[in-house]
Structure 1
Amino acid sequence: MAKHQNVQKYKYYKIEDGKVIRLKKTCPRCGPGVFMAEHLNRYSCGRCGYTEWKKPEKKK
């Protein structure tokens, strides 16, 4: 694994009407400074390991 990976922080935020909007979900345990990774079926925190499972979508 690489020692350093470039983090593209501009992909985590959006500016709308002069206000900053976070695009990724934040970890409820770690606080507003830590974002959760989005996988196919879950959200997970890389810092503390907290996981939230996504609800399956019903197909019509």
Structure 2
Amino acid sequence: MQVWKLYKLEGDKVTRLRRECPRCGRGYFMAEHKNRLSCGNCG
């Protein structure tokens, strides 16, 4: 996954485009499927 797909730059602010996993914490993002979210690390 490219980093530019996970973050958005707005001027001098950086916003995350995907949710982070509540179990794994910072840096692990949830994959968006049609009917669910799935963590890239813990599944």
TM-score by shorter chain over 0.5 = yes
Q: Hey, which of these two has a bigger chunk of strand by percent?
A: 2
Measure, in 1, the Cα distance between the counterparts of 2:40 and 2:26. 14
> How far is 1:27 from its partner?
0.2
How large is the Cα RMSD of the aligned pairs? Answer: 1.0
Structure 2 unaligned regions, length at least 5 = none
TM-score (norm 2): 0.85
Partner of 1:24: 18
TM-score (norm 1): 0.64
Higher relative contact order (CA 8 A, sep 6+): 2
Aligned residues with identical type, % of pairs: 63
Moved over 4 A (4+): none
